Amino acid sequence: MSSLRDIPVAEVDLGPGISAFFTTARGGESSGPYASLNLGSRVGDDPVAVAANRRAVSDAAGVPLVYGRQVHSNGVFEVDGPTAQVPDTEIAGDVAASADALVSARYGVGLTVYIADCVPILFADADAGVIATAHAGRPGLEAGVIAAAVHEMAAHGATPASIRAAVGPCICANCYEVPADMAQDFATITRTQVSLTKWGSVGVDLRAAAERQLRELGIGKILHISECTYEHAEHGRLFSHRWATHNVERTNGKSGRFAGVIMRTPAE
């Protein structure tokens, strides 16, 4: 764990000329179930606190950040610069589009992906100068959001073998229980195995599905930060929507969002 101007982050090496990291739930101004570095603008938190938190992460990154409106789809939005954004109804000027993957070949802008249990992935082809993010929850993995992001990167000159992908913190197979029919459908579509949770119920393994899809796409290098959001939400290190809904007496069912961030950095 390192720090970018006093914000604790987990940095990942995605190649020369690329800066990439995952934030945590710590280092911000939000309170209650959103304490403290909540970056989600549609989870019920005070918009003033969210704006301050986003400014802090943007300042730490050194560039404006673009957030997609994540809707559990395979939609991809090309970010051609910070001025390409469309207004958010709560916090103006930082939301790109309703899309679960963002792709860019530009300097001077950072791409983000929200996290509260789903799989966040940061991509970079340093040679081609193309970066991307993907929000891969259960529906997104079934819909092919990872392939959609990689195909859009290829349209901008990236090659799968040259892409590095960082798979960030997400809910683990031990903690993600779902109905049996849903688990079987997911396993069939993603060609993975139905898992068993620590409670003895059936579940799905989002990380294994993401790993399989990345390998089948020919991604050159895959990195993992294998922390479970559910397990780390108890002590306020990470946000977990699922943990919050299981602990309503403490959270009122509310949870913040942390983020993965990636940008191109000019050569010295």
Q: Tokens at residue 4, please? A: 């970018």
The pLDDT of residue 267 is above 90: no
The pLDDT of residue 85 is above 80: no
Spatial distance between the Cα atoms of 168 and 189, rounded to a whole number of angstroms: 22
Residue 98: band (very low, low, confident or very high) from pLDDT cuts 50, 70, 90? confident
Helix, strand, or coil here: 259? strand
The pLDDT of residue 53 is above 50: yes
Question: Which is more confident, 115 or 96?
Answer: 115
Q: Mean of the pLDDT values across residues 101-122?
A: 96
| CA nearest to 28, candidates 1, 61, 2, 6 | 6
Q: Mean of the pLDDT values across residues 74-92?
A: 63
| Percent of the chain whose predicted confidence (pLDDT) is above 70 | 91
Spatial distance between the Cα atoms of 56 and 2, rounded to a whole number of angstroms: 16
Domain that holds residue 79: 2-264
Query: For residue 61, is it left (φ>0), alpha (ψ between -120 and 50) or beta?
Result: alpha
pTM of the model: 0.94
Lowest mean pLDDT: which of 63-67, 236-240, 257-261? 63-67
The number of folded domains in the chain is 1
**Looking at residue 209, which CATH number applies to its domain?**
3.60.140.10
Q: Mean of the pLDDT values across residues 204-214?
A: 98
